Copies of this chain bind each other. A is one copy, B any other.
Amino acid sequence: MADKAAPDATRRSQRSHRAILDAAIGLVGEVGYPKLTIEAIAARAGVGKQTIYRWWPSKAAVLLDAFVALGERAAREAGGAEAYEIPDTGDLEADLKMVVRATVDELNSPEYDAPSRALAAETVINAELGAEFVRRVLEPQLQLYVKRLRAAQDAGLVDPAIDPRIALELIVGPLAHRWLLRTLPLTHEYGDAVVEMVLRGITVR
């Protein structure tokens, strides 16, 4: 109907879109995934249900888009960069520590904690949602590590026999383990120690 939207309508659209994603993130942290509804998201965002269904087929789809947007925002805030990637200053240890510290800060931030735990809890028991979460949210973030580690291999710093897709899990796995299971505090010092231990194992001697 509104294929050629006027500038005002476009701005309204963008505001609604953002309000819906924010509402989804806020609500899932408060009520958990099983009790999240399109109705409640619409009410909090101040839009009609049909506005949401025009853009997304399900609450899972809204929520995953909301987490993609949250991740992109966190990356921009952490790096200040336009591009969504791990910087390459030539110093692999410094670059990895920077991104790991930013991840630690994000995981420890109150606005991220409750929504992310609600989503993680559901992905653990809901294989279909879990697969979509991995495909749309998690794997693209993990591929940033693959890219940075490959660049370090090209630069002759990391052993070419190392599989970057496995090496990155030695970094993000321990962070996720501490965060999800709350075994011990998730701190910058811990992140630094993990990066140092992994690099001892994968760098060229």
Contacts and interface: CB of A to CB of B under 8 A. Distances in A.
A4 interface: no
Contacts of A130: 181-182
Nearest to A130: B182
A131 interface: yes
Nearest to A159: B200
Given A173-B173, A178-B169, A138 B197 contact: no
A68 to B, nearest CB: 16
Which 9 A-B pairs have CB atoms at the shortest separation, nearest pair first?
A: A201-B201, A173-B173, A173-B174, A200-B201, A173-B177, A169-B174, A121-B124, A121-B121, A121-B125
A95 interface: no
Contacts of A194: 166, 169-170
A157 interface: no
B197 A200 contact: no
A123 B181 contact: yes
Contacts of A182: 127, 130-131, 134
Contact of A181 (B118, B138, B167, B199): B138
A130 to B, nearest CB: 5
Nearest to A199: B201
A40 interface: no
Contacts of A166: 174, 190, 193-194, 197
A103 B175 CA distance: 20
Interface string A142-186: 100000000000000000001101110110111111101111100
